[in-house]
């Protein structure tokens, strides 16, 4: 996955108020100490709901 790819959560993150399938955009790619992605989730008005560092198993490309 690459910068600005649209992705969805593979599992619920209740502490963040995000359901499995929530859609976000990769805004940063980390390669050290291991692969991870900063993903921003927004509402319909473009306001940020959450911005989280997630591992590859927590997201997948949005279909």
Its domain, for residue 33, covers 6-58
For residues 54-62, average pLDDT: 98
Tokens coding 56:
């590859």
Residue 53: inside a domain: yes
**Strand partners for 1:** none
Residue 36: inside a domain: yes
pTM of the predicted model as reported, rounded to 2 decimal places: 0.92
For residues 21-30, average pLDDT: 97
Residue 25: inside a domain: yes
Tokens coding 50:
């959450």
Report pLDDT for 12: 97
d(CA 40, CA 19): 14
Report pLDDT for 63: 86
Dihedral sign for Cα atoms in the order 42, 50, 17, 12: positive
Residue 1: inside a domain: no
Number of domains composing the chain: 1
Candidates 52, 48, 40, 42; CA nearest to 13 is 52
Report pLDDT for 6: 98
């Amino acid at each position: 996955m690459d910068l600005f790819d649209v992705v969805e959560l593979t599992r619920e993150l209740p502490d963040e108020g995000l359901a499995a399938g929530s859609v976000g955009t990769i805004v940063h790619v980390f390669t050290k100490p291991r692969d991870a992605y900063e993903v921003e989730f927004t509402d319909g008005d473009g306001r940020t709901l959450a911005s989280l560092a997630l591992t590859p198993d927590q997201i997948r490309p949005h279909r």
